Structure 1
Amino acid sequence: MGLVPAAQAQSCALDRVVVSGGFGTVGFAVEIADDAQERARGLMNREQMPRLSGMLFVYESPRPAAFWMKNTLIPLDMLFVDQRGVVTRIHENAVPLDLTAIEGGDQVFAVLEINGGLSESFGLSVGDTITHPAFGPDAATPCAP
């Protein structure tokens, strides 16, 4: 493991992610979906979500991933993330209740769902990084020791 410049290391909490990129940084309070039942339920049947909140879906290892909006009542942006915490794809404004599969790629380790439109509003883009303990010490922007 290499040394990380202090400016890149972030303090971490299980209930928070920090997204960093050319736009700066933004933090989100998150719920974690890290087992099959939680991932299947996701954000279904919720009529609203606080602006800077979301859900972080975490898998045991990278895998192909696709999401749909069955029983999801609010538009969502989905950030598909690799094992190092790098955003590899963003799907903006997923349509509530739509059953169309939203493909995330073949090496998805995590997915961050946030309120629809926030990716554009904050200027989030592919290549941005997510800091959270789930990405471990080899993350692109690891947690501060």
Structure 2
Amino acid sequence: MAAAIIRTLTLVLLLVAAGLGPSSAAETFRTDRLTIETASGGKFGFTIELAETPRQMAQGLMFRQSLEPDAGMLFVLPKEQPMSMWMKNTFIPLDMVFIGAGGVIVNIHENAVPQSLDTISSAGPVHAVLEIGGGMAKRLGIHAGDRVIHKSLPAQ
């Protein structure tokens, strides 16, 4: 519990340090493609924005009014670690896909509630987090143990 609080406070401090809010200049993100391969044989492509810097990670998908069904944002962490996020200033429901070693999905938090301050955590150390539209993981049959393929995720 204490570790989750510390991670949440770290995110809050990143937001404050970055000066992010509706009136601040929005970050721009590099775009790319990734694929999710499911155990049942499905292959699903997404156009993603990459959140690579602390400022980009702090902004994420905040203040967005919509997200295309095949779009998302990939948060690439500098090293594998437990990760917690929240939905403050995020106006659309999201599925958070926590990705561990080898691109394997550790866990999925479905339909994160817009504007919620609740902490959403990985079930273990992760290398990245993929945010996609709320309900998309269930709709496509994406589950823990499936694999995300992207060049920023270390192969195993």
2:145 counterpart residue number: 127
Flag the structure with higher helix content. Answer: 2
CA contact 1:23–1:122 (8 Å) conserved in 2? no
RCO comparison, higher one (Cα < 8 Å, 6+): 1
**5+ residue gaps in structure 2?**
1-30
Q: Which runs of 4+ in 1 moved over 4 A?
A: none
Q: What is the CA–CA distance in structure 2 between the aligned matches of 1:106 and 1:52, rounded to whole Å? A: 26
Q: Which amino acid aligns with 2:64?
A: R
Match of residue 15, structure 1, among 19, 26, 32: 32
Runs (5+) with no aligned partner, structure 1: 1-13, 140-145
Q: What is the aligned-residue identity percentage?
A: 42
What TM-score comes out, normalization by structure 1 length? 0.83
How many residues matched?
125
**Superposed CA RMSD:** 1.1
Distance 1:88 1:107 in 2: 8
Distance 1:44 1:24, change over 3 A: same
CA–CA distance in structure 2, aligned partners of residues 94 and 116 of structure 1: 7
Paired with 1:135 and 1:76, the residues of 2 have a C-alpha distance of 21
Please give the TM-score of this superposition, normalised by the length of structure 2: 0.77
CA distance in 2, matches of 1:105, 1:41: 23
Q: Distance in 2 between matches of 1:106 and 1:124?
A: 18
